[in-house]
Amino acid sequence: MTDWRIDNAKHTKGATLCFKKYVRWSDTWDHDHCVACWAKFMESGADVLTEGYATEDSYHWICSDCLRDLKDEMGWTLASGSK
Ligand SMILES: [Zn+2]
């Protein structure tokens, strides 16, 4: 457990998250990063995450490792239908 991830992710505290495939935000924005550990999300590619936990507007993304480790600390809740 590392505190730097909590600090990175603090703006998402209390967010409701949905597990989904990563979808690019716009034509000019082809990737995102986990808000906590900065792991890279892309629609496809080597060494990237292609699915994860997103806020309901799909603007902030969180990887499954950070979800597991930080969920309680961050007060994240999963939207119904997500695992
Ligand atoms: Zn992460």
Cβ-Cβ contacts under 8 Å for 28 (sequence gap 6 or more): none
Cα(52) to ligand 1 centroid in Å equals 9
Which residues fall inside 5 Å of ion ligand 1, going by CB?
Answer: 34, 36-37, 39, 63, 66
Say what the pLDDT of residue 81 is. Answer: 65
- Digits of tens for pLDDT over the chain (83 positions)? 557 999 999 999 999 999 999 988 788 989 999 999 999 999 999 999 999 999 998 899 999 999 999 999 999 999 986 55
Cα(27) to ligand 1 centroid in Å equals 24
Say what the pLDDT of residue 10 is. Answer: 96
Say what the pLDDT of residue 12 is. Answer: 97
How is the chain split among helix, strand and coil, in percent rounded to 5?
25, 30, 45
Cα(72) to ligand 1 centroid in Å equals 15
